[in-house]
């Protein structure tokens, strides 16, 4: 069977080979090709099973039309949703995405950057891991387009996009305080990441503002890769050791899920015995009686802003931004746990 060529697609679509090339290389809008013709060309190419030779395209254009996405865990609720939006938005501009996970291991992150570099990706979208600062600096040194997502390194001037962590915690804590809760614990992860540091600092600040009990005794930290059963047991011990504890603020959704297990083990009722608020929503929280109050991250806005920041570096100039980064406000969802 004869292999279908670009000229064959042009003949079938009733367009010139150059027009077909522009469309299939994601330059239809840039070259002002009508949406009708663009759709016709793509439909013909799909029907005939035509795929451009990526090596040839890369050699000709200097671009692979591939972007690398490195996240903490592609299976995580937040990062999975983020990846889906990024992929859909990138596709609109003719880019494909290669996914990688670091599991918060800087060595694995370093390997992923090396692998993506060998794959000649045009740009990088990376969720920062503690210990990868020099790797990001190296990419910037070689003028590689990149955007950090869900965090940043204070000493590295790379573009970034994340939720407004301080505003989110302040909103959730204010809700608890206005409801009359006074002894509020904070459960977080023992990692030195800017987003976690911002959340913890906001928790401490709001307690001091309202002259409520604060300090390390009310803050409980679990290691990132904690065993779920052991973590739940340790959290049970923490709750039991604090008489009069009337609310808990969880810094992440997976900590919140562990917390619900601990609260159930202790036969405590939510919110009658203890109130719960969690940073970052999860499907479980809307199903778990009576519904868990949470700070929803604006996943779609974060993803779209990140991909457009990267496209801007690649010469697409799709948005204008002031400064190096963007912090986007989340939304507080009150369900029934406080």
pLDDT at 315: 81
Residue 274's nearest CA partner among 338, 212, 215 is 338
| Ranges of the chain whose pLDDT falls below 50 | 59, 322
Residue 325: strand pairing partners: 160
What pLDDT does residue 57 have? Answer: 57
The reply to whether the predicted model has a pTM over 0.95 is no
**Distance of alpha carbon 274 from alpha carbon 277, whole angstroms:** 10
Give the model's pLDDT for residue 310. 94
Provide the b/e sequence for 95-134 (b: ≥16 CB within 10 Å). bebeebbbebbbebbbebbeebeeeebbbbbbbbbbebbe
State residue 322's pLDDT score.
47
Phi/psi of residue 312, each to 5°?
Answer: -60, -40
Q: What domains, with CATH codes, occur in the chain?
A: 6-52 (1.10.260.40), 64-163+299-328 (3.40.50.2300), 165-297 (3.40.50.2300)
Which DSSP string do the residues of 141-178 spell out, in sequence order? HTT--EEEES---TTS---EEEE-HHHHHHHHHHHHHH
Report the C-alpha gap between 325 and 147 in whole angstroms: 9
Q: What is the pLDDT of residue 54?
A: 58
d(CA 17, CA 7): 6
């Amino acid at each position: 069977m004869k292999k279908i060529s670009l000229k064959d697609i042009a003949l079938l679509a009733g367009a010139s080979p150059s027009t077909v090339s522009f469309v299939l290389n994601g330059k239809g809008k840039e070259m002002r090709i009508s949406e009708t013709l663009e759709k016709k060309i793509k439909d013909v190419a799909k029907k005939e099973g035509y795929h451009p030779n990526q090596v040839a395209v890369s050699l000709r254009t200097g671009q692979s039309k591939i972007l690398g996405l490195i996240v903490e865990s592609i299976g995580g609720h937040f990062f999975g949703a983020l990846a889906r939006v990024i992929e859909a938005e990138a596709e609109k501009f003719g880019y494909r995405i290669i996914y990688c996970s670091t599991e918060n291991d800087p060595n694995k992150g370093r390997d992923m950057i090396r692998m993506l570099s060998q794959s000649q990706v045009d740009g990088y979208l990376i969720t920062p891991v503690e210990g990868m600062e020099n790797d990001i600096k190296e990419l910037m040194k070689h003028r590689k387009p990149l955007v950090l997502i869900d965090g940043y390194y204070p000493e590295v001037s790379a573009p970034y996009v994340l939720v407004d962590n301080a505003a989110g915690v302040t909103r959730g804590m204010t809700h608890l305080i206005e409801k009359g809760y006074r002894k509020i614990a904070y459960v977080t992860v023992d990692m030195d990441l800017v987003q976690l540091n911002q959340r913890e600092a906001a928790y401490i600040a709001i307690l001091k503002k309202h002259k409520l009990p604060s300090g390390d005794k009310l803050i409980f930290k679990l290691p990132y890769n904690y065993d779920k059963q052991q973590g739940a047991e340790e959290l049970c011990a923490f709750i039991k050791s604090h008489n009069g504890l009337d609310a808990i603020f969880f810094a992440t959704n997976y900590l919140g899920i562990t917390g619900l297990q601990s609260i159930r083990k202790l036969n405590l009722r939510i919110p009658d015995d203890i109130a719960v608020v969690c940073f970052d929503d999860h499907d479980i929280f809307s199903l778990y009686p009576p519904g868990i109050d949470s700070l929803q991250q604006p996943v779609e806005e974060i993803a779209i802003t990140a991909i457009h920041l990267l496209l801007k570096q690649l010469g697409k100039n799709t948005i204008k931004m002031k400064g190096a980064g963007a912090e986007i406000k989340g939304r507080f969802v009150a369900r029934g746990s406080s």
